[in-house]
Every structure is written in structure tokens, then in C-alpha cells.
Amino acid sequence: MYTAGRTAQLTGVPRETLRKWEQRYGVVAPARSEGNYRLYDDEAVRRLAAMRDLVDAGWSPREAARRVLAEPVAGVFPRSGTGGSPLSRLDDLTTSAADFDVARVEGLLDKAFAEGDLAVTVDEWLLPSLVRLGDAWQRGAVSVAGEHFVSAAVLRRLAQAFHQLPHAPPDAPRVVVGLARGSRHELGVLAFALVLRSRGVNVTYLGADLPVESWVETVRTLQPAAVVLSVPTVEDLPAVREAVEAISAHAPVLLGGAQQGRVQGGEPLGHRIGEAAATLAARVTDRR
């Protein structure tokens, strides 16, 4: 059982929204502790995460709740296919996590990144597959070590793909991308940087856990067209708010990650990483 705070962290849905979805749409019915605090089980977490994904995709909360309540949570997402393309199979990374199959997970990533547009690969296969992996971990179907094994492989592959892309022309617009002090969840923000670079943008990727002073110094030096910060968890909010306040005087700040809507002073990018990166690339290029 999870507290409201922990459930908000796991699903990326703020506490206030959890309460609204419960009261208005009945999507979950949390238990109560002896102190009358809400407690959510694994099924509730999965339902809330599924509803969040539908709302992020443009569904109204009412329609999203009806869909989640009408079908099993697994039915909300596209089912794994049997075709030859890895983009049709969303459970393959989870299977690789369960048996620690190095060759299989690296082969899946190689094939997926070789097919089609990077933005589509990220939005339609990579991130949904990682959601499936997270659900399997929450159910106990995949161990912590298995989840880390796959996440590390994905991080390596994203970094490799980033460095293999050709450099943008010197006069191309520059965007600085990274994480604030104490934040270490790199998968989403590195995937964003990858798609952005594939669209001909000069991307300066600063990685994880960068102090605010270093952010400000870098932005002053480079004078980028935009700065992108990710807010993956509730714990990241104080540091990101501090960074946005300091950076916004020098460059426009855009925000990704589950908690992006809870930071003032930055523009939310939405939750489809590939699409958001492609849109930003077109936007900064049009300014030239």
C-alpha cells in the first residue's frame, strides 16, 4: 500500500489531482489508514498511471476515467504484437529484465533505433516499454536489479545514438538540456536531447545533478535559444524551481518530466518527449 505522496511520485499525478479523480470520476477507491490517510494499492497506481497517460494524450479526464474503468489497465495500452518490428512489441524489454539477457536487450535497442523516425521510436516504443517495465517492477514480476539492468542498457544506447549523430552547423540554434542539482533520472531528458539533435539543433547536454551556479554560468556563456530542464520526481521540485528562477533572466526555460506543471516560470513541454523535441526544434529554427 502506498501513501498519497508516494502514489503521486510513482504516477506523476499531483496529490490534489489524485483526490479530484477519486471524488469526481471514481477511478480509484483508496483504503484508509488508522489515522484516516489515503492508501493506494498496486491496482490503483496502475489505473492512475493509465489515466494520466490518456489525459496527456489529449483525452478529457472524464473520458479517460471511463476508459480505465471499462477495461483492464493492460488494455489501455497497445498490446504486444507478433510482428517482426520491435516497435510492435512493448513487453520485450520487460522480458529481458526478467532473464538478464544482455544480447537480447541490446539487439532490441539496436533494431528499434534503426527503424523510422527517432521521435516516433521514443514516443511509441521506448517510453511505453519503460512504463511496462515499471509496472512489472511494481508487481514484483521484475526485480530491482532487472529494472536497473535494462535502464542502464537504455541509457548506454541513448548516449551512443546521441554521439553518433552528425554535428549541427555552427550557426544552428543552440539548446541547453539537463537536470538540476540532485536529479539523476536521465532517461527521459537524454531521449529528448537525442531527438532534438536529430532535428539539426546544436544541443549542449549537461547531464544530471548540475548545481544552479553552473547552470547560470553556462547559459550566460552560450546564450542559447532555449534551456530545457526535466522535473522527473517530486523530490526534484525545489532544485528545479531554484534553477528556473536563476536561468529565466538569461534564456527561455522549458520543462519536461512528470512534475513539469508544478514549476512556475517555465513553459511545460508535455509528456510526449519525441513530439515535444521535434516541435521545439522547428520553433527555434524558425526564429533564425
Q: Which domains does the chain have, with CATH numbers?
A: 2-76 (1.10.1660.10), 86-164 (1.10.1240.10), 174-286 (3.40.50.280)
- Residue 73 clears pLDDT 70, i.e. is over it: no
Location of C-alpha cell 544552428: 172
46-67 residue pLDDT tens: 788 888 877 876 778 888 888 8
Cα separation, 236 vs 92, in Å, equals 30
112-141 residue pLDDT tens: 888 778 888 898 889 888 988 888 888 888
Location of C-alpha cell 520553433: 283
What's CA 36's distance to the chain center, in Å? Answer: 32
Cα separation, 230 vs 256, in Å, equals 5
pTM of the model: 0.71
Helix H, strand E, coil C: the string for 210-238 is ECHHHHHHHHHHHCCCEEEEECCCHHHHH
Cα separation, 151 vs 158, in Å, equals 11
Give the mean pLDDT of the chain. Answer: 86
209-251 residue pLDDT tens: 999 999 999 999 999 999 999 998 889 999 999 999 999 999 9
Q: List C-alpha distances in Å: 143 to 94, 97, 136, 244.
A: 10, 8, 9, 36
What pLDDT was estimated at residue 287?
A: 61
Provide the phi-psi class of 100: left if phi over 0, else alpha when psi is between -120 and 50, else beta. Answer: left
- Residue 74 clears pLDDT 60, i.e. is over it: no
